[in-house]
Amino acid sequence: MHLFAVTGAPVLHSKSPALFAAAYPLHADDFAYFRMAAQSAEEAAWLFGELGLSGMNITAPFKGDMARLADVRAPEVQTLNACNTWVVEGGKKCAYNTDIFGVTGSLEKAGVTVAGKRCLVLGAGGAGGAAAYALRAAGGVVVIANRTVDKARRLAQSIGCSGVGLDEVAAIAPQADLIVSTLYPHVDALNEAWLTPQHVIFDAIYHGSALRDKARRAGCTFIDGAGWLLHQGAPAYRKFTGLEPDVESMEKSPLLKALPRHISLIGFMGSGKSAVAPALASLLGMPVLDVDAALEARCGASIPQLIGEKGEAYFREQERMALEDALASATPTVISCGGGAVTQPLLSKLLKENSIAIWIYAPPACCLSRIDVSTRPLLARHANPQQAAEELFEKRKSQYAKTAWMLVNTTCRSEVQVSRLIYDEISNILHR
């Protein structure tokens, strides 16, 4: 099983982690792809090694720091000091920047040639650098404009083009043939009066672009960020899987998908699901259901008693029925699942399709320190509970990954911090 993650902070940007992940349908049971809510490059790199991931997509604002932390950097990463893709090759963490293909692929699809064209790139971040790199390599005459002039000039020098401040855009934009904006939605640096039908406007934002309306009114050719998302994803997918992506199907897939009404917390025993669930439910104003607690109340016995007296198969059957009932409810609920719920293929499928499945993660040793082993039948019967926990986690890891929409690391976070992180990530998507 190869596991891949996409990581980044919650930002309103064209390559949002959740939507990027949604562009990747799984083509085989050998691959799992999920979102990872790391809050620093160092945390993302630690999780990458801790989970034994095969690859990872990286979003703003981590592209520069992740390039620094890689073992091997592709030529474009060395030039740009930014990457959006990590892949394990020969046991080393290798960094690539496939954003450049997002730019060239989108322009080719739109029938726009770059050679000899005057190109203005707005923004000198990771996306702006990739755009300038791609346009310069395609023969364009490129100017990078950024609020911080020194940053634009440093980036331009590394690529072999010009860098200016945003205050010079008024003089440059009317003469440009192609304008690529990689600015955040709230930054308005392009005056509609500067635009003519001869302009090609390419906005990295693919949802709610303010430039779209400006370009339409001015009669410009407009390209949104959906193509960028697709065409940078295809080469990353090849590196991850060794397979050829079904680009035609990806083009037809909706970028914005309605999220299920329920939120389910999955993960190993002791990871923190039962503590996080009520805190998250409180933030969201939703009821909470702890499946294990509900089972004990319904059966009139504790989980250890149920497994000890009637066997694990009976317990799993009761667990399945309880979760099916919860997921069928019309009332949106935060559901805390048992650690082994995902081992039942039907439940894994139901959780993935009918809930936003959040993988609450902590290493097995950390989980073990949080629980009373004597109350955990699957561990208590072993002479070495820690070894048993590690082996059990390894068996379940791929199922957690295949079921999860997002992973949150609880190792050094309280239940309040974890619930807030989940709340922020979900709210960021719901408010698009």
Cis ω for the linkage preceding 254 (within 30 of 0): no
Exposure string (b/e) for 69-90, b if CB count within 10 Å is 16 or more? Answer: bbeebbebbebbbbbbbbbbee
Q: Give the residue from 229, 177, 187, 175 showing the smallest Cα distance to 211.
A: 187
274: left (phi over 0), alpha (psi -120 to 50) or beta: alpha
Q: Give the residue from 232, 3, 188, 275 showing the smallest Cα distance to 99.
A: 232
Q: Give the residue from 284, 271, 253, 254 showing the smallest Cα distance to 356.
A: 284
Number of other CB atoms surrounding residue 422 within 10 Å: 24
SS3 at position 237: helix
- Distance of alpha carbon 69 from alpha carbon 83, whole angstroms: 10
Q: Which two tokens stand for residue 233?
A: 């994803």
One-character DSSP codes across 93-139: EEEE-THHHHHHHHHHHTT---TT-EEEEE--SHHHHHHHHHHHHTT
Residue of 15, 63, 397, 402 with catalytic role = 63
SS3 at position 265: strand
DSSP E strand stretches across 147-195 = 162-165, 178-181
Annotated active-site residue 63? The verdict is yes
Supply the residues annotated as catalytic.
63
